[in-house]
A and B are shown apart, each in its own frame.
Chain A
Amino acid sequence: MIGDLLIQGAQMALVLLLAPLFTGVVRKMKARLQRRRGAPVLQPYRDLLRLLGKEVVLADNASWLFRTAPYLIFALTWVAAALVPTFATGLLFSWSGDLIAIIALLGAARFLLALAGMDVGTSFGGIGASREMMIASLAEPAMLMIVISLALLAGSTQLSTIAAFMLSSAVGLRVSLALALIAFIIVALAENARIPVDNPATHLELTMVHEAMVLEYSGRHLAMIELAAALKLLLTVSAIACIFFPFGLAAGPDGLVRYPIGLASYAAKLGVAAVLLGTFETSIAKMRVFRVPGFLGAALMLSLLATLLLYVSRGL
């Protein structure tokens, strides 16, 4: 019990501490690939600290919703991140919410962010909120279908159980898993406002989605939102790692010796993910907004296909 509590606490602190670093590494990677030197990998931490120390400049007609939303968004994302196994599966509170709950928690954060974007009543806030909800209306069902196909395989929507199942030898190579992985990656790019769906590095561009919603935020509020975005990226990568690449995940009672292995493999997985994400983002152009539905529609169809295959035959 105490051990589990420690792991849970360690994991919550770990994701919080690692999230800006991961963002920093991805940025560095992209900069190097573009033959720039780039900011140091620790730059996101400095940005956060700087923002935290600044005063908040609040638009004249911002309401209480605008002021509380950043903290709620951060809290919702953090709770969701606490439910995703990173280096060990034995999370104390993992049973309190399953993958569906994690998606819904992220959905709640997005709901609040979109509302906060509309609160001041500027045109950019509206455009961001409107596009974000359009993207979500395709990404969320795709994500849920991926969860359903995984759950049909593992017999549970609980992430720890799914990871344990994936670690066991009962998995084998499956078509449905491959489809789910591709769909998951597409959805992950959209959910985290990455290229080709959105560009995290731009401001003042008509194509922006996430950045348009947070345009009116400043100071500690902006810090919270930036941290939440970094957490969400790390959470998604951790989820992909623990579902599709669960190697090295510390599980079971004899975990104590395995924790260092789990941590090391988690760090390695994050490194690989950062390199892949940076390379992918550099090598592809951003899509027009109305190309995005086709891209996400493919994810939805792939995940539906995976689920249908599993309904029809247990071997696929």
Chain B
Amino acid sequence: MTLLLLCVAALLALGAAGAARARHPDGTAVVYGGSLALCIIAGLVGLLHLGAAPQTGVLPLGLPWIGARFRIDALAAFFLVVVGLGGGGASLYALGYGRHETVPERVLPFFPPFLAGLILVVIADDAFSFLFAWELMSLASWALVVAHHHDAENTRAGTIYLLLASLSGLALLLALGMLAGPAGNFAFAAIRAAPPSPLGGLVLMLALLGAGSKAGLVPLHAWLPLAHPAAPSHVSALMSGVMTKVAVYAFIRIVFDLLGPPAWWSGVVVLALGGVTAVLGMLYALMQHDLKRLLAYSTVENIGIIFIGLGLAMAFRANGFAAGAALALTAALFHVLNHALFKSLLFFGAGAVLSATGERDTEHLGGLIHRMPRTAFAVLTGCAAIAALPPLNGFVSEWLTFQAILLRPDLPQWGLKVMIPTDGALLALAAALAAACFVRAFGITFLGRPRTAAAALAGEVDRFSLAAMLGMGLLCLLAGLFPGVVIDTLAPLMQALLGARMPAQLGLPWLSIIPVEAARSSYNGWLIFVFIAAATTLTILAIHRFASRAVRRAPAWDCGFPDPRPVTQYTAESFAQPIRRVFGSVVFRAHEVVLMPPPGDTGPARIRRSLRDPIWDALYAPVGHWITRAADVMNVLQFLTIRRYLGFVFIALVALLLVLALWQ
């Protein structure tokens, strides 16, 4: 615990050092090297505490009567590992990537404090330090989002991010305040000891609002696709891979630890939100051609998958089915880990493409697999993992989620009976759309022929970035091959939170995994991998030995009409067109108009398409409109005479006294 707090202090000091030495040539190396080392330490501390008894510590800061309390239990330890992995990967990547930064003095001072905030949220053990750390995390990441503030898009992104971050802070403040009760028991230990609050449902909804807007739950996801492209790539990786996970942590901490057993309807709400988030996030992603926006929307989808797992766990827990809840929560947490790994990898890849070509727009890329073969390989691994292809890790967590859906205990509530299978269909739809989305993202960016000179002249990135990407890819593979290790590591956590756990996996023959004790379903990642590898190798060897091995290079065939111009290739827009037509015409009111030139005119025909963002139109635009209207009306208040102001003060005083008198 002391070590961890020293780590946090060192990160804060590193931020100060970054501010002092930002323009110095070795400033980047010092800051990122230091945060890499500290993240490794934090991750290792987390790893060591996964199975250990909770450890607490108090600092004489914060609220004077309770101090700043910290605690590492199994849940905090798991998320520390996630923060350590994601933060360490981002720091390693930034050792190379950060050298291209044009304004290091706007990035270096805030990166280590952001990491410190992430760690502090996870280990905070009273409401005050929790909220303080939460705001530290929000503000530091906001500063990183607006690092390149000359771009008007980025300042808009920063504003919207800040607005939603304040909303999440406010909601969590209210939720924790209600949990603490009128006596002000802000320490988490006191909240846990107190009897379940009668306002439990309200607290849960506030937690959902607070954590959900930070995590990117639809309809509160609006900041992700704006903020992620604006921030430097390693920061996007950290925000998307780790910060949204810390938001998931906040939700789990409040709902599963502090609040006591939930009502069954809360499971329905979370399941519905999770399912909608998963499908809508992926549909949005399919409509994007900015690489980082696409990844941001895919984060929204993955948050949806995680919340489906959490919703299942809540539904099962509300009905006293602890083993099922343990399976669903394990699936959710496994996906937390997986998403931190592959989304970091993919953002690193997007950053590599950005630094090699200066482009984020897939329509200006293409053919990068020839110029950046290693980056392409790493990104391909990430795409396969996020598309839930075996034997990689994304498949395992989705497999576990499906197994949780398949449990079908006798739930008495009709809401759950209908919602759980519907979520199964939504999850399946999201997974299939994710495959389409990442075929498109990888295919347009890395395959085909270069669409611009920048893409044609790209070069491979530096070795730090490559090491970070390949390292994340390797972890994706390992987590997919040996999922039993992860599941067993999560077992003490499940035991602590739910009083039940998944069956021990490592004792099973051949390291298979099974979802529940009596199940007759199993999956074996490494064996499947060995089968695929062996079948591939044998086929290649046999064919090259006994059949032909001759190769001749020739121009592409293309049905006899090859056109050398790269513009004849499929673009990201055209690739998504069938899906846009199938799903988008309903969801986004997608509309296509072909403008034909008049007869005799030799000008080109044009196609125009329009998309509407339903959530922006239905939620954000009206809210923004009403706030502007209200501000206009209130503007009068700024230009009153002193007598009127004094009159208002008097009226307010009388009103408050009246309320106080009536209250008693």
Contacts and interface: CB of A to CB of B under 8 A. Distances in A.
Contacts of A63: 369-370, 373, 376, 447
A234 interface: no
Interface stretch (B95-103, B168-176, B346-354, B387-395): B387-395
Interface in A37-74: 52-61, 63-65, 68, 71-72, 74
Interface residues of A, number: 85
B522 A95 contact: yes
B527 A96 contact: yes
A65 B369 contact: yes
B582 A293 contact: yes
B522 A58 contact: no
B536 A61 contact: no
Interface string B420-448: 11101100110111011011101110011
B417 interface: yes
A155 to B, nearest CB: 6
B417 A312 contact: yes
Nearest to A123: B568
A203 B442 CA distance: 26
Given A96-B510, A131-B578, A137 B432 contact: yes
A155 B521 CA distance: 8
A125 B522 CA distance: 37
A134 B440 CA distance: 11
A96 B421 CA distance: 25
A165 B337 CA distance: 36
A134 B443 contact: no
A121 B512 contact: no
A216 B557 CA distance: 6
B548 A220 contact: yes
B522 A96 contact: yes
A124 interface: yes
Given A118-B448, A224-B539, A312-B417, A56 B552 contact: yes
Nearest to B526: A96
B523 A152 contact: no
A126 interface: yes
A73 to B, nearest CB: 10
Given A55-B552, A312-B417, A98 B367 contact: no
A44 B582 CA distance: 36
Contact of B431 (A96, A139, A140, A204): A140
Interface in A148-175: 148, 151-152, 155-158, 161
A309 B371 CA distance: 53
Interface string A210-235: 00000110011000100000000000
Interface stretch (A21-29, A102-110, A253-261, A267-275): A102-110
Nearest to B419: A311
B524 A96 contact: yes
Nearest to A109: B389
Contacts of B581: 290
Contacts of B111: none
A310 B399 CA distance: 20
Interface of B: 366-367, 369-370, 373, 376, 380, 384, 387-390, 395, 399, 402-403, 405-406, 408, 417-418, 420-422, 424-425, 428-429, 431-433, 435-436, 438-440, 442-444, 447-449, 510, 512, 519-524, 527-528, 531-533, 535-536, 539-540, 543, 547-548, 550-559, 562-563, 566, 568-570, 574-579, 581-582
25 contacts: A52-B543, A53-B547, A55-B551, A65-B369, A71-B536, A74-B539, A75-B539, A79-B532, A93-B531, A96-B510, A96-B512, A96-B527, A100-B399, A108-B389, A115-B447, A118-B570, A136-B432, A137-B582, A144-B431, A156-B519, A161-B521, A290-B578, A307-B421, A307-B425, A311-B420
Q: Closest 10 interchain pairs by CB?
A: A126-B570, A121-B448, A55-B550, A141-B428, A75-B535, A118-B443, A133-B436, A156-B520, A134-B578, A140-B432
Interface of A: 52-61, 63-65, 68, 71-72, 74-76, 78-79, 82, 93, 95-98, 100-101, 104-105, 107-108, 110-111, 114-115, 118-127, 129-131, 133-134, 136-141, 144-145, 148, 151-152, 155-158, 161, 203-204, 215-216, 219-220, 224, 289-290, 293, 300, 304, 307-308, 310-312
